[in-house]
Amino acid sequence: MSARRPSRFRLGGRRYSPAASLALAAPFLLLVAIIFILPLATLLHESLFVPAPTTEHYARAFAEPVYLRVMLRTLRIAALVTALALLLAWPMAWVMSRSRGLGLALLAAAVLLPLWTSVLVRTYAWMVLLQRNGVVNQLLQQLGLTEAPIRLLYTEGAVVLAMAHVLLPFMVLPIYSALKGIPEDYPRAAQMLGASPWATFREVIWPLALPGVTSGCLMVFLLALGFFVTPALIGGPQQMMIATLVSQQVREMLDWPFAGALVGILLVFVLALTLLFKRAVRLDRFVGSA
């Protein structure tokens, strides 16, 4: 019953030599190197060394209010998306964790089917719903809640809602797996010991689900920071987020060094957050359940 420590560095199992293991992983590693690391490195290199070694591009990103606003909006939208996704995901994950058999299969399908559908399709679906003569506006008018169509598309609210929907599975799944790991006897024991349903949630369920909640929030927040399709289509130019800005710099302004600086800023931010929360998650595992 000793506490398990994370194993030390090891490549492959006992059957394969490190060289063989490396060979097995090689195709994947090569692909990542060519389509991810190489372009990223080139872009970052441009941001720091073109035309001469400089920090000018980074300074510009923080100096000009337009760009600063885009970055702050990106942070705000990502935070709101995370909060909304958490609110929507928790009850779903709870019901799933207490379901079995066909009930669980149906709920899991409801979570996973959207994940297997193109983001583009799901985003266009939101556009159909939210546009000027879309389903939502027609419904509002028929119910007599509004006289004329109101603007739903190209608002921050629309972006948050659509992104939360698209990213929801990434919140539901880790929370579901954390909640599933809590035996039904724990809440029973807590109640028996005098805990009200609210106290049971606060003192037992929530702390035990926290690693899942942290993973889900981290995942959704990070994905939301760099999200392109949904904010570009639903938000339009007024609700521009950093990924759209990068695309604009590359495609319209042909300003690769500045685009590289924006990517660099986003990357540093993402890495910092990951490390910070990775630690929090680990720490929780250590003091938490076996």
Partner 1 sequence: MGGTDGLAGRVAVEGLVKRFGPVNAVDHVSLEVSSGEFLALLGPSGSGKTTILMSIAGFEFPDAGRILIGQEEVTWTPPNRRNLGMVFQRYTLFPHMSVLENIAFPLKMRGVGRAEREERARAALATVRLGEMGGRRPAQLSGGQQQRVAIARAIVYQPRVLLMDEPLSALDKNLREEMQIEIKHLQQRIGITVIFVTHDQTEALTMADRIAVLDHGRLQQLGTPRDLYEAPQTAFVAGFIGETNFCEGQLAQAAASGESVTVALTGGGSLPAIAAEALPAGGRIKVALRPERLRVLPATAEGTTARVAEAIYAGNATTLMLEGAFGQPLRARIPAGAGLHEPRPGETVRLAWQAADARAFRA
Residues that bind partner 1 (CB under 8 A): 1-3, 183, 185-186, 188-196, 199, 203-204, 207-208, 287-290
Our CB check for partner 1 shows the closer of 202 and 279 to be 202
Our CB check for partner 1 shows the closer of 149 and 207 to be 207
Our CB check for partner 1 shows the closer of 208 and 261 to be 208
Our CB check for partner 1 shows the closer of 148 and 192 to be 192
CB of 278 to partner 1, least distance (A): 19
CB of 259 to partner 1, least distance (A): 45
Q: How many CB atoms lie within 10 A of CB 245?
A: 21
Give the largest Cα separation in the chain, rounded: 72
Our CB check for partner 1 shows the closer of 151 and 188 to be 188
CB of 2 to partner 1, least distance (A): 8
The DSSP code sequence of 176-201 is HHHHHTS-THHHHHHHHTT--HHHHI
CB of 211 to partner 1, least distance (A): 10
Would you say 164 and 88 are in contact if contact means Cβ atoms under 8 Å apart?
yes
CB of 196 to partner 1, least distance (A): 6
